[in-house]
C-alpha cells in the first residue's frame, strides 16, 4: 500500500486519537499535494464540532430564566446540546467514510 494513501487516511482517522493536531502537522510536513488536500479537509472537518460550542453557550444564556426559576425544561439548551451531539456523530461517520475511501 502506498505511504501517501496511508498518511491521508490517518489524517481522517485521527479524529479518534489526535484530534485536529495530526492533520495540521501532516499538512505542514508533507510535500505531496494529494496528502495536503486530505490533511486540510480532515483538519477542517475536525474543527466542525468546535463550531457548535457557541450555540450550546447561547442556549444556556437563553434558558437562564428557566434555570433561575427552576420551573420548566431548558428547551434551548437541550436542543443545542442535541444538535452538537448530532454534528459530532456526523463528523465522525464522515471521517471514517473518507478514510476508508482513501485507502480503497
Can you tell me the distance from the alpha carbon of 66 to that of 68, in angstroms, rounded to the nearest whole number? 5
3-state SS assignment for residue 7: helix
Predicted pLDDT of residue 1: 55
Mind listing the pLDDT tens digit for each residue in 2-47? Answer: 888 998 999 999 988 877 789 999 999 988 999 999 999 999 999 8
pLDDT at 93 (0 to 100): 95
Which cell numbers hold the place of 38? 486530505
Could you report the per-residue pLDDT of 36-87, keeping only the tens digit for each? 999 999 999 998 888 888 888 888 887 777 666 777 777 888 888 898 999 9
Full DSSP string of 22-87: HHHHHHHH---HHHHHHHHHHHHHHHHHHHTHHHHHHHHHHTHHHHHH--S--HHHHHHHHHHHHH
Domain residue ranges of the chain, discontinuous segments joined by +? 1-103
Query: Residues 65, 71, 72, 78: is their CA dihedral positive or negative?
Result: positive
Q: What is the pTM of this model?
A: 0.81
Amino acid at each position: 500500500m502506498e505511504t501517501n494513501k496511508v498518511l491521508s487516511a490517518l489524517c481522517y482517522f485521527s479524529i479518534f486519537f489526535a484530534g485536529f493536531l495530526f492533520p495540521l502537522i501532516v499538512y505542514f510536513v508533507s510535500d505531496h499535494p494529494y496528502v495536503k488536500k486530505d490533511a486540510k479537509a480532515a483538519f477542517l472537518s475536525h474543527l466542525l464540532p468546535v463550531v457548535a460550542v457557541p450555540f450550546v453557550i447561547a442556549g444556556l444564556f437563553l434558558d437562564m430564566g428557566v434555570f433561575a426559576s427552576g420551573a420548566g425544561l431548558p428547551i434551548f439548551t437541550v436542543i443545542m446540546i442535541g444538535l452538537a451531539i448530532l454534528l459530532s456523530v456526523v463528523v465522525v461517520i464522515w471521517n471514517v467514510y473518507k478514510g476508508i475511501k482513501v485507502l480503497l
